[in-house]
Structure 1
């Protein structure tokens, strides 16, 4: 079958351009093999990363038809079936990953990716056991808890598609927090409390995740970074009792209000989360301009009516909470 590959090309600090290359290929041919043919047969200046060609190293991550994926894993037939099943001459668009500056063509600078991984200290700490009497052994059950996050190959696909990272340059990214949960769950590590304090920092840590699900959708190894971020949040909510941050209040208040009324009483939500029940004077003052605007536009509700089916909603939430508690035990 004949396929046109539209490749977004770019030199560092220069405007991007799109160049097209036509190939006669079999449906089972991988995108990486197609790029190799383009480079070897048509344009030797094309730049991209590759190594293992077997979904192990993560080097060939790029955007294929608008989503980040491994070029060695995706093939022509599946891409055509997904985006252009009826086209006489189908086109496949290939672009560099997002959230990272382009060095050349499909090669991006991953410095921030690695720096943010380092920021979460993704190493098991054994500082409290300087001279162990034996190896730090784990049971099969303890090790099984690490299997999913241990599958991460650091390809950068989740980081590339992360909306939170795009708008907040201080957010460490889903790849780092997935590794962070591995450290929290590792039975050999002795710094869980310190780690949870660190990952709880404002929107730089777990609370910066917008739960857009893109990281889960594009991960080629089914690590499910968003799920791991959620697990860290649950650990923080379970352990953080002395210092309740705004992020924690947000989560707890949201659940409590929905349990109470079926939906959110916005008056109570602002006062409890932002103003911390009148204990945070700065937060209370920050609500004043919004309150005035709502009053002048007659948008401030004077009362609150619970939603229909509030008992059903409350029952569902309590069932989920009971299930989570039972799972931890």
Structure 2
């Protein structure tokens, strides 16, 4: 069958252009197979990265029909089927079989499908993704782990650093300080590793503003595109739980946000937003600047009759409270 490949091509610091390449393909051909043929048979100037062709190295990550994926893993048949399903849901039929290939997002383009991954690697380095040297000052024995301790590292150990999650990260797109899901997934591996001796310092760093775990918007894109099922968002959530276990409510606004939210839901079934603002932003009346920042919003709400003078607990509050307490009890036992 003939498929038209629409490739987003770009030189460094220039506007992207779309170039089309018709190609006779089989449904089982991978996208990387097709790119190789385009380069070998039609246009030798086309630039893209590749290496192993076996979903191991992560080199060939790019955006295929709008989502970041490995070109060596995705094949023509499944991509066409996925695209046709989207078209049927959106009533946008297309008589031509087309596949659009673009460079990864959140990184500047060097040429065509090749991006500059410097920020990707710099942010990985920022989380210190290696066992602390202090823990190595024990000459008497090896660093033994039980099978259970080692199993905590299996999922994050599957990461091949392809950049797909980083490319799709909404938080990274709007916040250049956010280190990214790949770095935080690797960070959890260090937190969970029984051989590491700097867990407290790590949690302090990962808790810092929106650079660390609190910068995540929980959009789930990182999980949905990860070719190795590392589930970066799941690892970020685990780090948050570790931070909440080690920190008090008064430590940071991010921690108060999470803990106060749970407490208010336990108390009333839903959130008393008056208390939420005072406790989270105002830090229980300790943060005068935070309280003053709420004043303009509060005055506007009062002027428009939107400020609630009382709070009524929701139906089923007891059941909600018992569910939360049961979950908290289970976590404490684990």
User: What TM bracket, shorter-length normalisation?
Assistant: over 0.9
Asked whether 1:271 is paired with 2:278, we answer: yes
Aligned counterpart in structure 2 of residue 232 of structure 1, from 239, 244, 257: 239
Aligned counterpart in structure 1 of residue 317 of structure 2, from 301, 304, 310: 310
Checking the alignment, whether the CA contact within 8 Å between 1:84 and 1:91 is kept in structure 2 is no
CA–CA separation in structure 2 for the residues paired with 1:315 and 1:24:
61
What's the secondary structure of 1:112's corresponding residue? helix
Deviations, residues 165-208 of structure 1 (Å, cap 9, x unaligned):
11110000000000000000101100000000010001110001
Distance 1:285 1:242, change over 3 A: closer
CA–CA separation in structure 1 for the residues paired with 2:42 and 2:326:
60
Asked whether 1:89 is paired with 2:91, we answer: no
Aligned residues: 327
- RMSD across aligned positions (CA): 1.4
Checking the alignment, whether the CA contact within 8 Å between 2:205 and 2:212 is kept in structure 1 is yes
Asked whether 1:145 is paired with 2:152, we answer: yes
Checking the alignment, whether the CA contact within 8 Å between 1:84 and 1:90 is kept in structure 2 is no
Aligned equivalent of 1:77 = 77
Aligned equivalent of 1:98 = 105
What's the TM-score, normalizing by structure 2? Answer: 0.95
Asked whether 1:183 is paired with 2:190, we answer: yes
What's the TM-score, normalizing by structure 1? Answer: 0.96
**Unaligned 5+ runs, structure 1:** none
CA–CA separation in structure 1 for the residues paired with 2:193 and 2:66:
36
Checking the alignment, whether the CA contact within 8 Å between 1:146 and 1:186 is kept in structure 2 is yes
Matches within 5 A, 1:31-180: 31-84=31-84, 88-180=95-187
Matches within 5 A, 1:3-18: 3-18=3-18
What's the secondary structure of 1:92's corresponding residue? strand
Aligned counterpart in structure 2 of residue 290 of structure 1, from 297, 304, 309: 297
Shift of 1:96: 0.7
Checking the alignment, whether the CA contact within 8 Å between 2:3 and 2:22 is kept in structure 1 is yes
Checking the alignment, whether the CA contact within 8 Å between 1:61 and 1:155 is kept in structure 2 is yes
Deviations, residues 41-96 of structure 1 (Å, cap 9, x unaligned):
11111111100000000000001111100000000000111112675431111111
Checking the alignment, whether the CA contact within 8 Å between 1:100 and 1:108 is kept in structure 2 is yes
**Unaligned 5+ runs, structure 2:** 86-92
